[in-house]
Amino acid sequence: MKNKLFEKYFVFSPYFWLVLFFFIPLAIIFKISISVSEWGMPPYQDIFLFDNGFKINTTFENYVYIFSDYYYIGSFVNSLILALISTFFCLLIGFPLAFYIATSNIRLRNILLVLVVIPFWSSFLLRVYAWKIILQNNGILNVILLNLGIISEPLQLLYNQYAVIMGIVYTYLPLMILPLYGYLNKFDLNLIEASKDLGLNRIKTFFKVILPLSVPGIVAGSLLVFIPVVGEFIIPEMLGGSDRLYYGKILWEEFFVNRNWPGASALAFSGIIILVLPIVIFQILYSRWSQKNEI
Amino acid sequence: MDNNFLVVENISKSFGNNKVLENINLNISKSEFFGLLGSSGSGKTTLLRILGGFEKPDTGRVILDGTDITNLEPFDRPLNYMFQSYALFPHLNVFNNLAFGIKENFTQKEIEINVRDIAELLSIEHLLKRRIKQLSGGEQQRVALGRCLIKKPKLLLLDEPLAALDKKLRSKTQLELTTLQKKLKITFVFVTHDQEEAMSLSDRMAIMKNGLILECSSPEEIYENPKSFYTANFIGIANIIEIYKKGENFYSDDLGINFKLNKELKNIKTNILLRPEKIKIQSINNLKTSSFNSFSGEILEKSYLGSFTRYEIKIKNMIISVLDQNFYSNSNYNFPKGEKVICSWESESIKVLED
């Protein structure tokens, strides 16, 4: 009896975690987002007022405001595009790497896996800062190119969207490689040989056999990169310039610079809904598809 | 018959310091069912993979129907390879697995006709819409076979074609495979570690050991007249006896008896093979021991096998296996354990092993 009870709670523990660390904070954010802002601490009014009898004090002005100003929507679109491009490049670099690791012999495989994970052992901030040193006007890269005579004056490599994409791809690559590796590890190499034996060359074999059978790994890796990149704040802040505004930075400024907590909350809440809804729909469709195809 | 349909010429292959194949030569004729038999590590699978194009040989050539295919990629070779694990595509159903190799060059209608034909040939029409996971082992084997045969290959390579099936299904499939091969007249080359499978399927077979081909001949020839000690032992049950010349006859120290051969020997000392079913076993009361080609011994072990009874008979320093056909249904006819018996054989049943 006691065991059964334990099992029951054990099964529900992920939901418990989800409620405690996702739904409750989300509810708090939503509450703040419909509050009326004011100067003070905290910088918004309570939504339930009791001074002259009970009164609900809410407003949806913040939502109207952020959806009517392209400044906010634009930054969100920028972030989505950034996430798409970064995910694409992570996949482009990560897939061959993961495939190579998964098909190499066990000794080499372990060494390569350690190499993939090693960057996690040092501070993320430090690693992004290192890129600043490499890419800045008198940085290593420019100095080398100048000395080799390839360029006559330093290139502006830093503070633009390309530097941001590079930084994100660099940082998030392991998150793509590891789930892909986990899936490709189980790949039956005889299938590739069978495909070639049946007359398909390498490229056709890739598209007809390797790619369709890797879809679950690709989906897992891509979601793991895409979702956090949409809200990424630090990398655009450190490597990015003023050419493009991103959602994470706007959110930060709204909170800490403008001290507009309700506005920032409305922005955060909208972002989550816009991002979560398509992903949930995608997951449902995908799980149906993979069940049908037994992958 | 044209003996040069598939020619394997001086093929050698090493993986690092490990020599897997050493100077392999084979000539296989058109429509032949050819077996490569060897224990694991004999190099038989590597040889098959070289034929399939999955490994490149260090030296030598492979010539198929007059064309040198040594350096061709698997997808450019007019042959197909059936994998031991079948390697069916799990993301495709049976129809699409069968059609996989012909999708490129055929119209949708032609594909459908071809798939139906091959499915009919292998009696798997009812499975076309199934997914691979929903198939039994025997059904998967048929799909794997059909996926290759639909391409009408000049040569079909089969890696342990029956190993993944259970015993009962295996003998049934064995028969079907031979019938199919004779019907389609496609050259089959297969690899196996199972001597029974090799004997029952092959027109000719090669015995491989440590990257060498020891013998290559028909199953009957290899069983009845093996050349080497290893082959004699590897195929079937073998009594191998060392003899040397002593006067007119030959003498075995282990058995303490004389042998009469109808053949002269090159060496003074040699090994001979005596298959257990060639030995006649009789009650000691019926007969006197002859001075050669017979001995008397004591039955040490006895196992009843239905059509045969296998006896282990001890004589001097050696134990000789004898298979006695159960000709009478009266079980009293069998000799009990511990009984003294006389064993004898014909001179021509003695086979001299060359090495």
pLDDT tens-digit series, residues B141-167: 999 999 999 999 999 999 999 888 888
Instruction: Bin A261: left if φ > 0, else alpha if -120 < ψ < 50, else beta.
Output: alpha
Mutation choice for A interface testing from B15, B50, B81 by most A CBs within 10 A: B81
pLDDT at B32 > cutoff 80: yes
**pLDDT score recorded for residue A98:** 95
> How far is residue B8's CA from residue A215's CA, in Å, rounded to a whole number?
41
Least confident of A99-103, A183-187, B119-123, B325-329: B325-329
**pLDDT score recorded for residue A292:** 73
Find the CB nearest A197 among B52, B88, B90.
B52
Q: How confident is the model at residue B286 (pLDDT cuts 50, 70, 90)?
A: low
**pLDDT score recorded for residue B287:** 61
CATH code of the domain containing A83: 1.10.3720.10
Classify residue B232 as exposed, middle or buried by CB count within 10 Å of its CB (0-12, 13-18, 19+).
Answer: buried
DSSP A44: B
Contacts of B73 in chain A (CB under 8 A): 196, 201
**pLDDT score recorded for residue B72:** 94
**pLDDT score recorded for residue B1:** 54
Domain positions in chain B = 6-233, 237-353
ipTM for this model: 0.84
Q: How confident is the model at residue B288 (pLDDT cuts 50, 70, 90)?
A: low
**pLDDT score recorded for residue A295:** 57
How many domains, in total, are found in chain A? 1
**pLDDT score recorded for residue B69:** 94
Residue A16 lies in a domain: no
**A106-117 helix and A70-103 helix, angle to the nearest 10 degrees:** 160
Going by C-alpha positions, the residue among B291, B287, B299, B297 that lies closest to residue B257 is B291
CA atoms within 13 A on the CB side of B165: 20
> How far is residue B324's CA from residue B305's CA, in Å, rounded to a whole number?
10
Contact A49, A55 (CB under 8 A): yes
Mutation choice for B interface testing from A189, A198, A291 by most B CBs within 10 A: A198
Give, for A41, the enclosing helix (H) or strand (E): none
> How far is residue B244's CA from residue B314's CA, in Å, rounded to a whole number?
21
pLDDT at B332 > cutoff 70: no
pLDDT at B122 > cutoff 70: yes
Q: What share of chain A is helix, strand, coil (3-state, %, to 5)?
A: 75, 5, 20
pTM for this entry: 0.80
Instruction: Kindly report the nearest CA distance between residue B223 and chain A, in angstroms.
Output: 35
For residue A216, say if its preceding peptide bond is cis, omega within 30 degrees of 0.
no
Asked if B6-233 and B237-353 have one fold, the answer is: no
pLDDT digits (tens, 9 = 90+) for B231-262: 998 888 889 988 888 877 788 888 888 887 77
Task: Enumerate chain A positions whose Cβ falls within 8 A of a Cβ in B.
Answer: 188, 190-191, 193-201, 204, 208-209, 212-213, 293-295
Classify residue A60 as exposed, middle or buried by CB count within 10 Å of its CB (0-12, 13-18, 19+).
Answer: exposed
Question: DSSP characters for A243-290?
Answer: S---HHHHHHIIIIIS--HHHHHHHHHHHHHHHHHHHHHHHHHHHHHH
B83 interface with A at CB cutoff 8 Å: yes
Contact B101 A213 (CB under 8 A): no
**pLDDT score recorded for residue A226:** 92
Question: What is the domain extent for residue A119?
Answer: 67-293
B75 interface with A at CB cutoff 8 Å: yes
> How far is residue A195's CA from residue A191's CA, in Å, rounded to a whole number?
6
**pLDDT score recorded for residue B260:** 78
HEC sequence for chain B: CCCCCEEEEEEEEEECCEEEEEEEEEEECCCCEEEEEECCCCCHHHHHHHHHCCCCCCEEEEEECCEECCCCCHHHCCEEEECCCCCCCCCCEHHHHHHCCCCCCCCHHHHHHHHHHHHHHCCCHHHCCCEHHHCCHHHHHHHHHHHHHCCCCCEEEEECCCCCCCHHHHHHHHHHHHHHHHHHCCEEEEEECCHHHHHHHCCEEEEEECCEEEEEECHHHHHHCCCCHHHHHHCCCCEEEEEEEECCEEEECCCCEEECCCCCCCCCEEEEEECHHHCEEEECCCCCCCCECEEEEEEEEEEECCCEEEEEEEECCEEEEEEEECCCCCHHHCCCCCCEEEEECCHHHCEEECC
Among chain A residues, the shortest Cα distance to B80 is held by: A197
Contacts of B88 in chain A (CB under 8 A): 194
Find the CB nearest A199 among B75, B87, B89.
B75
Question: Mean pLDDT over all residues of chain A?
Answer: 87
DSSP A46: -
Contacts of A199 in chain B (CB under 8 A): 75, 101, 104, 151
Residue A59 lies in a domain: no
Q: How confident is the model at residue B6 (pLDDT cuts 50, 70, 90)?
A: very high
Going by C-alpha positions, the residue among B274, B271, B281 that lies closest to residue B333 is B281
Residue contacts between A and B (CB atoms, under 8 Å): 63
**pLDDT score recorded for residue B335:** 84
**pLDDT score recorded for residue A4:** 73
Contacts of B148 in chain A (CB under 8 A): 197-198
Among chain B residues, the shortest Cα distance to A194 is held by: B87
Instruction: Kindly report the nearest CA distance between residue A173 and chain B, in angstroms.
Output: 28
pLDDT < 50 positions in chain A: none
Contact B75 A213 (CB under 8 A): no
Mutation choice for B interface testing from A183, A190, A192, A197 by most B CBs within 10 A: A197
Instruction: Kindly report the nearest CA distance between residue A182 and chain B, in angstroms.
Output: 18
Residue A28 lies in a domain: no
Contact A196 B104 (CB under 8 A): no
Contact A198 B147 (CB under 8 A): yes
Structure tokens at A170: 């660099």
Mutation choice for A interface testing from B50, B75, B86, B156 by most A CBs within 10 A: B75
Contacts of A187 in chain B (CB under 8 A): none
Instruction: Kindly report the nearest CA distance between residue A115 and chain B, in angstroms.
Output: 27
pLDDT digits (tens, 9 = 90+) for A189-225: 999 999 999 999 999 999 999 999 998 899 989 999 9
Q: What is the CATH number of domain B6-233?
A: 3.40.50.300
Of the candidate CATH numbers 2.160.10.10, 2.40.50.140, 3.40.50.300, 3.40.309.10, the domain formed by B237-353 belongs to 2.40.50.140
